[in-house]
A and B are shown apart, each in its own frame.
Chain A
Amino acid sequence: MLINTKWLLDYLSPVEKHEELIETLTAAGLEIEEAWDLREMLRTVVIGFIREKKPLGEDAFLCQVETEPGKLHSIVCTTAFTVEEGWGVPVALPGTKLPHGVDIGVSQVRGEESSGMICGDAEMGLIARGETGLSVFHDEAMLGQPFAQVAEFDEWLADINVLPNRPDCLGMLGVAREVAAVLGLEFRYPELKAPKVTGEGEPFPVTIEVPEKCYRYIGQPITGIKVGPSPAWLRSRLQVVGKRAINNIVDITNFVLMEYGQPLHAFDMAKLAGPEIRVRNMRADETLELLDGTKLDGEIEPLVIADAKQPVALAGIMGGADSQTTQASTSILLEAACFDPVNTRKTARALKLSTDSSYRYERGTDPNFMLEQGFKRARALMCELGQGNLPVKPTETYPSKVEPVTLTLTPQRVSGYLGMDVTREKIHECLGKLGMTCEADEITAPTWRVDAVDDVVLIEDVARLIGYDEIPLEATSASATQGRTNDADQMRERLSAFLVANGFLETRHAPLVDASMLNLFQSDSQAQIELENPLRSDMSVLRDSLIPSLLQTCERNARRGETSFRFFEIDRRFVKNPTGDGHDINEYWTLGAVVGGTLFDAAWESRKTDIEFPHAKGLLEQLLANLGMTERFQMQRGPVPRGFNPEQTGIIQLGETPIGYLGAVDPKKANLDSRVRAQLFAFEVDIAKLVTAYVGNRPFAGLSRQQGTSRDLSLLVDKTVTYRTLEDTIRSSFAQAISGWPITPMLEEVVCVDEYSGDNIETGKKSLTLRFTFRDETRALTSEEANQISEAVLASLTSEHQVRLRG
Chain B
Amino acid sequence: MSQTFAELIEEVNSVAETSVIEIEACQSLDQVNEIRIQRLGKKGDITAFMKRMKEIPPEQKKEFGAAVNTAKSRVEEAIEARKESLESAAASGEGSFDFDITLPGIRPKSGHRHPVMAAMQEVKSILTGLGFRYDDYPEVETDFFNFDGLNTPSWHPARDMHDTFYTKDGNVMRTHTTAFQQHALKQFGPPPIKAMTSGRCYRCDEIDATHFPIFHQLDVIAIDRGITFADLKCTLYQLARGLFGDDVKLQFRPSFFPFTTPSAEVDVWFNGRWMEILGSGMMHPNVLKAAGLDPREWQGFAFGLGIDRIAMNRHGITDIRYMYDNEAAFLRQF
CB within 8 Å of B: which residues of A? 26-29, 31, 163-166, 341-342, 345-346, 362-363, 416-420, 454, 456-457, 459-460, 463-464, 468-469, 471-477, 479-486, 488-489, 493, 496, 499-512, 529-535, 539, 542, 553, 556-557, 560, 562, 564-567, 571-572, 574, 582-583, 585, 587, 589, 599-604, 607
Collect the chain A residues with CB atoms within 8 Å of residue B114's CB.
Answer: 505-508
Contact assessment for A535 and B204 in the assembled complex, using a CB-CB cutoff below 8 Å:
yes
Knowing A556-B325, A602-B107, the reply to whether A511 touches B230 (Cβ < 8 A) is: no
Contact of A600 among B107, B132, B134, B265 (CB under 8 A): B107
Collect the chain A residues with CB atoms within 8 Å of residue B168's CB.
Answer: 529-532
Annotate B302-334 by CB proximity to A: 1 below 8 A, 0 otherwise: 000000000000000000000111111101100
Q: Count chain B residues whose beta carbon lies closer than 8 angstroms to a beta carbon of A.
A: 92
B202 on interface, CB distance cutoff 8 Å: yes
Contact of A587 among B138, B222, B284 (CB under 8 A): B138
Contact of A604 among B106, B170, B200, B328 (CB under 8 A): B106
**A193–chain B nearest beta-carbon distance, Å:** 35
Knowing A27-B254, A506-B117, A600-B109, the reply to whether A486 touches B262 (Cβ < 8 A) is: no
Give the residue name and chain of the A residue nearest to B106 (CB): A602
- New A-B pairs, 6, CB < 8 Å, besides A486-B133, A531-B166: A163-B255, A164-B160, A416-B228, A475-B231, A479-B191, A604-B106
**B189–chain A nearest beta-carbon distance, Å:** 13
Knowing A459-B262, A602-B106, the reply to whether A474 touches B136 (Cβ < 8 A) is: no
Give the residue name and chain of the B residue nearest to A490 (CB): B134
**B196–chain A nearest beta-carbon distance, Å:** 9
Collect the chain B residues with CB atoms within 8 Å of residue A599's CB.
Answer: 109
In the complex the two chains form, what is the Cα distance from A604 to B160 in whole Å?
Answer: 58
**A541–chain B nearest beta-carbon distance, Å:** 9
Give the residue name and chain of the A residue nearest to B156 (CB): A164
Q: Which residues in window 226-281 of B have CB below 8 A to A?
A: 226-231, 233-235, 237, 252-256, 258, 261-265
In the complex the two chains form, what is the Cα distance from A583 to B169 in whole Å?
Answer: 8
In the complex the two chains form, what is the Cα distance from A556 to B325 in whole Å?
Answer: 8
Contact assessment for A585 and B140 in the assembled complex, using a CB-CB cutoff below 8 Å:
yes
Give the residue name and chain of the B residue nearest to A595 (CB): B109
Contact assessment for A500 and B111 in the assembled complex, using a CB-CB cutoff below 8 Å:
yes
B108 on interface, CB distance cutoff 8 Å: yes
Contact assessment for A341 and B109 in the assembled complex, using a CB-CB cutoff below 8 Å:
no
Contact assessment for B227 and A476 in the assembled complex, using a CB-CB cutoff below 8 Å:
yes
In the complex the two chains form, what is the Cα distance from A483 to B222 in whole Å?
Answer: 12
Contact assessment for A483 and B204 in the assembled complex, using a CB-CB cutoff below 8 Å:
no
Collect the chain A residues with CB atoms within 8 Å of residue B328's CB.
Answer: 505, 557, 560, 562, 565, 567
Contact assessment for B230 and A583 in the assembled complex, using a CB-CB cutoff below 8 Å:
no
Collect the chain B residues with CB atoms within 8 Å of residue A419's CB.
Answer: 228-231
**B299–chain A nearest beta-carbon distance, Å:** 7
Collect the chain A residues with CB atoms within 8 Å of residue B96's CB.
Answer: none
B51 on interface, CB distance cutoff 8 Å: no
Knowing A508-B117, A535-B206, A535-B213, the reply to whether A502 touches B228 (Cβ < 8 A) is: no
Contact of A505 among B166, B228, B331 (CB under 8 A): B331
B285 on interface, CB distance cutoff 8 Å: yes
**B180–chain A nearest beta-carbon distance, Å:** 13
In the complex the two chains form, what is the Cα distance from A560 to B237 in whole Å?
Answer: 43
Knowing A417-B229, A420-B230, A510-B214, the reply to whether A456 touches B282 (Cβ < 8 A) is: yes
**A522–chain B nearest beta-carbon distance, Å:** 21
B49 on interface, CB distance cutoff 8 Å: no
Collect the chain A residues with CB atoms within 8 Å of residue B131's CB.
Answer: 480-483
B171 on interface, CB distance cutoff 8 Å: yes
Knowing A345-B157, A468-B254, the reply to whether A505 touches B104 (Cβ < 8 A) is: no
B62 on interface, CB distance cutoff 8 Å: no
**A280–chain B nearest beta-carbon distance, Å:** 22
**B290–chain A nearest beta-carbon distance, Å:** 14
In the complex the two chains form, what is the Cα distance from A456 to B258 in whole Å?
Answer: 12
Secondary structure call for the B interface: mixed
Knowing A505-B331, A511-B214, A512-B213, the reply to whether A28 touches B254 (Cβ < 8 A) is: yes
In the complex the two chains form, what is the Cα distance from A589 to B197 in whole Å?
Answer: 15
In the complex the two chains form, what is the Cα distance from A459 to B237 in whole Å?
Answer: 22
Contact assessment for B160 and A601 in the assembled complex, using a CB-CB cutoff below 8 Å:
no
Q: Which 5 A-B pairs have the closest CB atoms?
A: A503-B109, A419-B230, A419-B228, A29-B254, A460-B262
**A537–chain B nearest beta-carbon distance, Å:** 13
CB within 8 Å of A: which residues of B? 104, 106-114, 116-117, 121, 124, 127-136, 138-140, 142, 155-158, 160-161, 165-171, 173, 191-194, 200, 202, 204, 206-207, 212-214, 222, 224-231, 233-235, 237, 252-256, 258, 261-265, 282, 284-286, 299, 323-329, 331-332
Could you pull out 19 A-B pairs where Cβ atoms are within 8 angstroms? A418-B229, A454-B261, A460-B254, A471-B229, A471-B230, A476-B226, A477-B228, A481-B132, A483-B132, A486-B133, A496-B113, A500-B112, A508-B116, A510-B214, A556-B327, A574-B139, A574-B140, A583-B169, A601-B109
**B37–chain A nearest beta-carbon distance, Å:** 34
**B260–chain A nearest beta-carbon distance, Å:** 9
Contact assessment for A505 and B112 in the assembled complex, using a CB-CB cutoff below 8 Å:
yes
Contact assessment for A506 and B112 in the assembled complex, using a CB-CB cutoff below 8 Å:
yes
**A373–chain B nearest beta-carbon distance, Å:** 24
Contact assessment for A489 and B134 in the assembled complex, using a CB-CB cutoff below 8 Å:
yes
Contact assessment for B173 and A531 in the assembled complex, using a CB-CB cutoff below 8 Å:
yes
Collect the chain A residues with CB atoms within 8 Å of residue B106's CB.
Answer: 600-602, 604, 607
In the complex the two chains form, what is the Cα distance from A29 to B256 in whole Å?
Answer: 8
In the complex the two chains form, what is the Cα distance from A346 to B153 in whole Å?
Answer: 13
Contact assessment for B224 and A502 in the assembled complex, using a CB-CB cutoff below 8 Å:
no
Contact of B140 among A346, A460, A587 (CB under 8 A): A587
In the complex the two chains form, what is the Cα distance from A471 to B133 in whole Å?
Answer: 27
Collect the chain B residues with CB atoms within 8 Å of residue A530's CB.
Answer: 167-168
Contact assessment for A489 and B157 in the assembled complex, using a CB-CB cutoff below 8 Å:
no
Contact assessment for A484 and B155 in the assembled complex, using a CB-CB cutoff below 8 Å:
no
Collect the chain B residues with CB atoms within 8 Å of residue A489's CB.
Answer: 124, 134, 136
Collect the chain B residues with CB atoms within 8 Å of residue A469's CB.
Answer: 252
Collect the chain A residues with CB atoms within 8 Å of residue B204's CB.
Answer: 533-535
In the complex the two chains form, what is the Cα distance from A479 to B132 in whole Å?
Answer: 12
In the complex the two chains form, what is the Cα distance from A413 to B161 in whole Å?
Answer: 31
In the complex the two chains form, what is the Cα distance from A583 to B200 in whole Å?
Answer: 18
Collect the chain A residues with CB atoms within 8 Å of residue B171's CB.
Answer: 582-583, 585
In the complex the two chains form, what is the Cα distance from A539 to B228 in whole Å?
Answer: 42
Knowing A464-B254, A535-B213, the reply to whether A456 touches B284 (Cβ < 8 A) is: yes
**A671–chain B nearest beta-carbon distance, Å:** 19
Contact assessment for A164 and B327 in the assembled complex, using a CB-CB cutoff below 8 Å:
no
Knowing A362-B157, A510-B214, the reply to whether A500 touches B229 (Cβ < 8 A) is: no
Contact of A164 among B107, B134, B157, B229 (CB under 8 A): B157
Contact of B133 among A485, A493, A504 (CB under 8 A): A485
**A335–chain B nearest beta-carbon distance, Å:** 23
Contact assessment for A510 and B213 in the assembled complex, using a CB-CB cutoff below 8 Å:
yes
Contact of A473 among B138, B214, B234 (CB under 8 A): B234
**Max count, chain B CB within 10 A of own CB: residue among A471, A484, A542, A582:** A471
**B257–chain A nearest beta-carbon distance, Å:** 9
In the complex the two chains form, what is the Cα distance from A130 to B280 in whole Å?
Answer: 47
**A480–chain B nearest beta-carbon distance, Å:** 7
In the complex the two chains form, what is the Cα distance from A196 to B127 in whole Å?
Answer: 68
Contact assessment for B255 and A600 in the assembled complex, using a CB-CB cutoff below 8 Å:
no
In the complex the two chains form, what is the Cα distance from A457 to B113 in whole Å?
Answer: 43
In the complex the two chains form, what is the Cα distance from A500 to B200 in whole Å?
Answer: 22
Contact assessment for B228 and A476 in the assembled complex, using a CB-CB cutoff below 8 Å:
yes
Contact of B111 among A346, A416, A505 (CB under 8 A): A505
Contact of A468 among B207, B235, B252, B284 (CB under 8 A): B252
Contact assessment for A26 and B165 in the assembled complex, using a CB-CB cutoff below 8 Å:
no
Give the residue name and chain of the A residue nearest to B112 (CB): A505
Contact assessment for B157 and A601 in the assembled complex, using a CB-CB cutoff below 8 Å:
no
Knowing A489-B134, A500-B113, A506-B114, the reply to whether A346 touches B155 (Cβ < 8 A) is: yes
Knowing A341-B155, A417-B229, A535-B213, the reply to whether A485 touches B256 (Cβ < 8 A) is: no
Contact assessment for B160 and A603 in the assembled complex, using a CB-CB cutoff below 8 Å:
no
**A170–chain B nearest beta-carbon distance, Å:** 11
Collect the chain A residues with CB atoms within 8 Å of residue B173's CB.
Answer: 531
